[in-house]
């Protein structure tokens, strides 16, 4: 990142990317625990595979969106921060739909913290400086 990037923006970017990485590792971890998923749900192997595949596809869509929008946000475009927040709310709803777990709570905390730093006054000022030039 460039030196002129304010601390709240650097923190927001770090949180968005940390969230993306965490989602990838959490989703991959579920594949290693597929036997446990099958035991807890009493689903067939095919049902577990279908569930994990759907979960993985949705997770990768969120991850791709976070990475792409964070990159555009760093280029000092305002609209990605709006879309990032919208995607994050959708992600939170998806997480709540799946149920409460430790990893889901960590993801929710990362999202909430990222939104807070994305919408801080210093971040808005940093984005506005580009429009003034």
Q: Write the secondary structure of 57-71 as one string of H (helix), E (strand) and C (coil).
A: HHHHHHHHHHHHHHH
Residues 6+ apart with CB under 8 A from 59: 23, 24, 26, 27
Domain positions in the chain:
7-132
- Across the range 84-108, mean pLDDT stands at 94
Is the distance from CB of 68 to CB of 75 less than 8 angstroms?
no
Q: What is the pLDDT of residue 32?
A: 96
Task: Give, in degrees to the nearest 5, the angle at Cα 95 between 47 and 9.
Answer: 135
pTM exceeds 0.85, yes or no = yes
**CA 26 – CA 20 distance, rounded (Å):** 10
Residue-wise pLDDT for 49-84, tens only, equals 999 999 999 999 999 999 999 999 999 999 999 999
Of the given ranges (2-6, 80-84, 90-94, 120-124), which has the lowest mean pLDDT? 2-6
């Amino acid at each position: 990142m460039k030196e002129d990037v304010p601390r709240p923006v650097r923190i927001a970017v770090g949180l968005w990317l940390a969230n993306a990485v965490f989602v990838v590792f959490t989703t991959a971890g579920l594949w290693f625990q597929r036997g446990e998923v099958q035991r807890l749900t009493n689903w067939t192997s095919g049902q577990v595979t279908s569930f994990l595949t759907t979960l993985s596809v949705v997770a990768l869509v969120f991850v791709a969106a976070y990475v792409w929008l964070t990159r555009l946000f760093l280029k000092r475009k305002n609209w990605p921060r709006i879309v990032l927040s919208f995607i994050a709310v959708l992600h939170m709803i998806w997480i709540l739909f799946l149920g409460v777990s430790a990893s889901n709570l960590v993801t929710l905390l990362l999202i909430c913290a990222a939104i807070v730093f994305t919408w801080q006054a210093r971040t808005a000022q940093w984005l506005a400086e580009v429009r003034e030039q």
